[in-house]
Amino acid sequence: MASDSAGTINTAEIRERYAQERNKRLRPDGNDQYLEITGALSHYLDDPYTERHEREAVVDHVTVAVIGAGFAGLVTGARLKEAGITDVRLIEKGGDVGGTWYWNRYPGAQCDTAAMIYLPLLEETGRMPSEKYVHGPEILTHCQVIAKHYDLYNKALFHTCVTAMNWDAEAKLWRITTDRGDAFTAKYVTMGTGPLHVPKLPGIPGLRDFKGHSFHTSRWDYDYTGGNSEGAPLDKLADKRVAIIGTGATAVQCVPHLARACKTLYVCQRTPSSVDTRNNEPIDPQWFESVTSETGWQDRWLENFAINQTGGMADEDLVQDGWTDLSKRILSRIVDLPPEKMTPENMLAAFEDADHEKMSEIRQRASEVVDDPETGEKLKAWYRQLCKRPCFHDEFLQAFNEPATVLLDTDGKGVEAITEHGIVIAGKEYAVDCIVYASGFEVGTPHERRAGFDMQGVGNVPLSQHWKHGMRSLHGVHVHGYPNAFLVQMSQGANLVSNYPHNLTEAARTVAAVIRHAEARGSDVVEATAAAEASWLDYIGTSSGFLLDSTDCTPGYYNNEGKERDADSAVPLGHPEGAVAYFTFIKAWRESGEFEGLTFT
Ligand code: NDP
């Protein structure tokens, strides 16, 4: 069996071990293994943070309806206001702005990408992050600051889900209804509904039978656990046996808090995460002032990270973190190749070598940090680093040295069953008082299921029908047949996974530029042509977008749970030359003022 001992790396052995570990986890049901949270399970979606107030239904007209008030909606609203479009309404299912950071208030929630580039509009709002990787409450506050700074609370509708959005071709506007009885119209609509916002539950037999307490990490029940999202100890768990199911990026952040608080904490693991060092540190105000003195600093940082993280050659590495480290390692190996050996095969081999080296270090770290050697072994991730979401933490592995923590490794099989009183793994029942589902969010389910509505465009064609054979867009923003509507997300655009907000700030700039242009020339309707949409898809079709979107990887949401994608879902994901090329292209497209591919009438 492959090991990383004595610093030697045997590529063939490691490949073999990776394949074995992957095969253990392959299952025929793919995405269907998860439970949709509906019906009797709906209480898992209740908002534990903000009381829902009754209000009058809204019946009026706005210039722009912005669906979703997370980062996407906030940056869109901000850029629209900057462009002089003031009549903007946010519509949001949560009780406030924040999106991901509204819902994910689990203890230890923290951004994994450096705050200098992760937090949008730092320069515009004049704010300094307190740490290199800031914690959830500070991010939520930042969202609220953006909303106040740009006057986005005015007209916002919270605890409100859009139920229908239909294009009225005669009136040339969108008709929107919601679950609060609202029926209003908007000249333009933008959709920033987010990629990971619908919690899912594992389809473990017996889940509904459990008689103890349970909740999903994105609806943390502080009434039950005690403590708060600011980091106060979870003081009501001292006499509780708790099982947490899942060891992804969320569990990695909250396990240390549970480990310190519970009488017994069972960490139920199906696939170990790769957990590299975090090395968080406070931001020094003097340093911050020195690096942000020039206008446009955040755009420079964003660009620098995007270049470094996607294998480009920047003069320096401003962010210096785990994301750029891997890319720099790969690049340095490629640069070391003699010119005659600079072939695609050798470049891929250099990438693989750098990856094996990095993953060996990460596995070694588990052995060094965890006191019990057997537990340390079980916490080792046997796959290439970008097969799953890389994690960074300085207390997760250490949590397995706490006396209360027990790792229940399922050898890739998952929790076998849930009973009235506990969980079953390898035929053994573990009695627990509480189950915390750190089981992630829906990915790969139909867009309309996640959005909660299926917008109807020209000729009442539902978006699901236009996308029957996969997503179709121009630049990831415009969709032919859906005039005056804009997507604010990353697919078919930059697809920069390591810094999601960067995709959003660029999309928001594009939306604001197009709407400003339409308004300035007095247009009623702006729409992508069918030809422009088709030619963009052809152009980006030469790339799969994800570097390792492959069935060679251990299953997860990055690779469709290990299942071959059918033709309809194997759509191109990003610019063939990468994120930086997209950002350069779209900036030039906007600034040309031509808006090629769109018609304004
Ligand atoms: P994930 O989908 O990444 O993890 C779900 C976990 O549940 C996995 O460990 C999965 O195992 C496990 N699981 C599922 N079914 C079972 C089962 N039947 N038995 C046992 N275990 C099971 O969700 P997360 O909430 O952790 O993270 C989602 C995403 O959110 C991240 O990938 C990241 O993009 C983002 N995130 C970002 C953070 C940040 O930036 N700071 C922090 C947290 C999350 P398996 O791996 O085998 O499928």
Start-to-end CA distance of the chain, whole Å, equals 66
Q: Do the domains spanning 11-46+202-278+354-437 and 61-198+443-600 agree at the CATH topology level?
A: yes
What pLDDT is attached to residue 180?
98
| DSSP-assigned states of every residue in 354-421 | HHHHHHHHHHHHHHHH-SSHHHHHHT---S-GGGS--EE-SSTGGGGGSTTEEEEE-TTS---EE-SS
Residue 187 host element (H or E):
strand 183-191
Please report where in the chains the tokens 């980091």 appear, as a residue. Answer: 231
In this model, does residue 282 exceed pLDDT 60? yes
Which residues does ligand 1 sit against, CB inside 6 Å?
25, 110-112, 196, 202, 204, 245-251, 253, 268, 270-271, 389, 410, 414-415, 438-441, 556-557
Test site for ligand 1: of 22, 250, 268, 407, most ligand atoms within 8 A of the Cβ = 250
Over the chain, what is the mean pLDDT? Answer: 93
What pLDDT is attached to residue 548?
43
In this model, does residue 236 exceed pLDDT 50? yes
pLDDT tens-digit profile of 533-544?
A: 999 999 998 765
Compute, in angstroms, the gap from residue 177 CA to the centroid of ligand 1: 33
What pLDDT is attached to residue 567?
63
Return the bridge partners of 408, or none.
268
Cα–Cα distance measured from residue 474 to residue 538, given in angstroms and rounded to the nearest whole number: 11
pLDDT tens-digit profile of 63-91?
A: 999 999 999 999 999 999 999 999 999 99
Closest by CA position to 356, among listed 378, 335, 386: 386
Handedness of CA 392, 261, 244, 416 (dihedral sign): positive
pLDDT tens-digit profile of 130-156?
A: 999 999 999 999 999 999 999 999 999
Percent of the chain with pLDDT over 70: 96
Q: Please state the φ and ψ torsions of residue 493, each to the nearest 5 degrees.
A: -125, -125
Compute, in angstroms, the gap from residue 117 CA to the centroid of ligand 1: 23
Compute, in angstroms, the gap from residue 249 CA to the centroid of ligand 1: 6
Nearest Cα residue to atom 20 of ligand 1: 414
Compute, in angstroms, the gap from residue 449 CA to the centroid of ligand 1: 20
Residue 116 host element (H or E):
helix 115-118
Domain 11-46+202-278+354-437 fold is FAD/NAD(P)-binding domain (3.50.50)
pLDDT tens-digit profile of 384-432?
A: 988 999 999 999 999 999 999 999 999 999 999 999 999 999 999 999 9
Q: Exposed, middle or buried by CB within 10 Å (0-12, 13-18, 19+), for 403?
A: exposed
Written as six digits, the tokens of 434 are 């509480």
Compute, in angstroms, the gap from residue 534 CA to the centroid of ligand 1: 35
Written as six digits, the tokens of 257 are 């808090």
What pLDDT is attached to residue 7?
56
Lowest mean pLDDT among 194-203, 305-314, 578-587: 305-314
Q: Cα–Cα distances in Å, from 256 out to 106, 168, 247, 321, 371?
A: 12, 52, 12, 22, 15
Ligand 1 nearest atom to the CA of residue 437, by list position:
7
In this model, does residue 4 exceed pLDDT 70? no
DSSP structure class, residue 462:
B
Average pLDDT of 256-282?
A: 97
Cα–Cα distance measured from residue 495 to residue 575, given in angstroms and rounded to the nearest whole number: 7
In this model, does residue 551 exceed pLDDT 70? no
Strands (E), 240-306: 241-245, 264-269, 275-276
What pLDDT is attached to residue 570?
62
Helix, strand, coil percent values for the chain (each to nearest 5)? 40, 15, 45
In this model, does residue 599 exceed pLDDT 50? yes
Compute, in angstroms, the gap from residue 273 CA to the centroid of ligand 1: 9
CA dihedral 191, 194, 195, 196 (to 10 degrees): -150
In this model, does residue 550 exceed pLDDT 90? no
Instruction: Please indicate whether residue 5 or residue 473 has the higher confidence score (pLDDT).
Output: 473
Specify whether the backbone of 463 is left (phi greater than 0), alpha (psi in -120 to 50) or beta.
alpha
Cα–Cα distance measured from residue 527 to residue 601, given in angstroms and rounded to the nearest whole number: 9
Q: Cα–Cα distances in Å, from 496 out to 236, 490, 597?
A: 40, 7, 23
DSSP structure class, residue 527:
E
Nearest Cα residue to atom 43 of ligand 1: 250
Nearest Cα residue to atom 25 of ligand 1: 440
Closest by CA position to 529, among listed 454, 601, 583: 601
CA angle 223, 216, 401 (to 5 degrees): 85
Q: How confident is the model at residue 343 (pLDDT cuts 50, 70, 90)?
A: confident
Please report where in the chains the tokens 């959003």 appear, as a residue. Answer: 504
CB 99 within 8 A of CB 69: yes
Walk across the sheet containing 422-425 and list its strands: 417-418, 422-425, 428-431
Cα–Cα distance measured from residue 504 to residue 579, given in angstroms and rounded to the nearest whole number: 12
What pLDDT is attached to residue 547?
44
Answer whether 0.85 is exceeded by the pTM: yes
Percent of the chain with pLDDT over 90: 79
Q: Is 456 helix (H, G, I), strand (E, B) or coil?
A: strand
Half-sphere exposure of 474 (CA within 13 A, CB side): 26
pLDDT tens-digit profile of 37-56?
A: 999 999 999 999 999 999 99
Q: What is the largest CA-CA distance in the chain?
A: 73
Estimate the crossing angle of helix 297-309 against helix 500-520, to 10 degrees: 130
Specify whether the backbone of 68 is left (phi greater than 0), alpha (psi in -120 to 50) or beta.
left
Alpha carbon 134 to its chain's center: 16
What pLDDT is attached to residue 546?
45
Average pLDDT of 578-587?
A: 96
Q: How confident is the model at residue 444 (pLDDT cuts 50, 70, 90)?
A: confident
- List the domain boundaries for the chain: 11-46+202-278+354-437, 61-198+443-600, 292-348
What pLDDT is attached to residue 334?
84
Compute, in angstroms, the gap from residue 441 CA to the centroid of ligand 1: 8
Nearest Cα residue to atom 10 of ligand 1: 246
Write down the architecture of domain 61-198+443-600 according to CATH: 3-Layer(bba) Sandwich (3.50)
pLDDT tens-digit profile of 558-574?
A: 888 887 777 666 666 88
pLDDT tens-digit profile of 483-528?
A: 999 999 999 999 998 899 999 999 999 999 999 999 999 999 999 9
Nearest Cα residue to atom 1 of ligand 1: 440
What pLDDT is attached to residue 406?
98
Residue 518 host element (H or E):
helix 500-520
What pLDDT is attached to residue 543?
67
Tally the residues of the chain: 601
What pLDDT is attached to residue 582?
96
Residue 299 host element (H or E):
helix 297-309
Average pLDDT of 261-281?
A: 97
